[in-house]
Amino acid sequence: MTLSLPSVLALVLAAPSLFGAAIFTYILIAMRRTHAVLGVASDGLASSLNRSSPVWVIVPAHNEQAVIASLVASLRNQDYPAFRAVLALDRCTDSTLAVALETIGPDERFEVLEIASCPADWAGKVHAIHEAVTRQQIPADGVLVFADADTVLHPGCLRACVALLDERRLDALSLLSTLTYDQSFEKTSQAPASFELLVRYPPLKASRDHQRRPFANGQFIMMRQSAYQAIGTHAAFRDELLEDLAIARAIWQSKLRMQVLPAGNMMQCRMYPNAVAFRRGWKRIFIESAKRKPSRLRSWSFAALARGMLFPAWNTALLGASVAAFFLWPAAPTGAIAIAVAASAAGVAAWLAVIWLFLKSAGISSAARRVNVLLRWPLGSARLSSLLREAANELETGVPTAWAGRTYKRQSR
């Protein structure tokens, strides 16, 4: 069989679409399998277990006056019978203390610890957590929760997570927050950034017992006291700017069991108040996630751009050109057009299915809001690509990382 020149050209043009469609179909299958295997945090609410291990919730906070009240209120509403909360206020210069005390009121389950300084060889957040934990008398059967100040917990969050810890016989559990999508920068850039991080650290691979790719979300990590002692406590990660990944790696090296699953409606987080803080914060996250390797950051930059912007743009253009050729060019070979239409349509459909499912699993319940974020996805991917290149350049040129009231000089690898 001899192919005509137009048919060969159509196959060449369709090849990227077919290849991309296969990749996104694989991602879609992996996402559905992840949900089937791991479920969501709210699954623990249906547990019939009636255990009440004592829980200590440790919250490091640096100048969090805008969000601390929401977290404290959500902790006060927890229906778990045996927990204490320790707020470790790390060198705060705003009204965090006053707001926290006012919201706590007479609730004796809370303790507020003010930390006036941080040693030079410690990261601020890590030191604050370490100080808070070492001042508690936590029994061997106790459970620790490390939660960020910008999170809000569902009233059943602690109960659900303790049940999952026991039912699944885990040593640790980390939740992927349901993030907010209210501000323009959140609608545009937050979803592509979160998606890229999960592509690099898939929850299912982070949760398996063999050949694990260690990952944890520092916004919420629950861990048994015995496991915490086994990994060396936070003292073992004193200079880490992304201590959650370091903890996850230590859990893996200690042969302990851990799962990472979506919070669903169990926890919400507003990560950053504005676009400047968003960009600064995500650069820190990606620099440490890439193990401070500029070359890796640049490859992630290209992948994010290709996956989130170039691929859908290519397929849309090919589909539009093919349909236009069918109507405007009567002599065009129908076989070649059919190949191009089928390939580009498959590419668009696979891409849309993956992004739609991700946005749904990310907690964006409204279809209209998902459409809004989806339409912004290509622009957000371009901005993410720029952020990753900028992170690589800053790492190579020695620009220090600013985080929680301090700056840190990080060496590239």
DSSP 8-state class, residue 189: I
The gap between the terminal CA atoms of the chain, to the nearest Å, is 53
Q: How many percent of the chain have pLDDT more than 90?
A: 82
Residue 330: the pLDDT is: 61
Q: What is the pLDDT of residue 332?
A: 59
**What pLDDT is attached to residue 233?**
97
CA distance 110 to 56: 10
Confidence class for position 338, pLDDT limits 50, 70, 90 = confident
**Residue 2: per-residue pLDDT:** 47
Confidence band of 324 (pLDDT split at 50, 70, 90)? confident
Separate counts of helices (H) and strands (E) for the chain: 15, 12
Q: Supply the pLDDT for residue 322.
A: 79
Kindly report the pTM of this predicted structure. Answer: 0.93
Q: Using CA atoms, how far apart are residues 395 and 290, in angstroms rounded to an integer?
A: 11
pLDDT above 80: residue 39: yes
Indicate the pLDDT class of residue 1, thresholds 50, 70 and 90.
very low
The pLDDT score that the predictor gives to residue 408 is 82
Asked if residue 3 has pLDDT above 60, the reply is no
Burial of 185 (0-12, 13-18, 19+ CB in 10 A): middle
* 114: number of Cβ within 10 Å: 13
Residues 141 and 125: their CA atoms lie apart, in Å, by 25
- pLDDT tens readout for residues 118-167: 999 999 999 999 999 999 999 999 999 999 999 999 999 999 999 999 99
Topology (CATH) of 39-177+217-273: Spore Coat Polysaccharide Biosynthesis Protein SpsA; Chain A (3.90.550)
Distance CA 285, CA 282 (A): 5
Q: Where are the domains of the chain?
A: 5-31+294-408, 39-177+217-273
- Specify the pLDDT at position 298: 98
pLDDT digits (tens, 9 = 90+) for 175-208: 999 999 999 999 999 999 999 999 999 999 999 9
pLDDT of residue 253: 96
What mean pLDDT comes out for the span 33-48?
A: 92
The residue among 76, 122, 130, 82 whose CA lies nearest residue 102 is: 76
Q: How far lies 326's CA from each of 5, 221, 319, in Å? A: 17, 56, 11
Average pLDDT score over the chain: 92
pLDDT reading at 87 higher than 50? yes
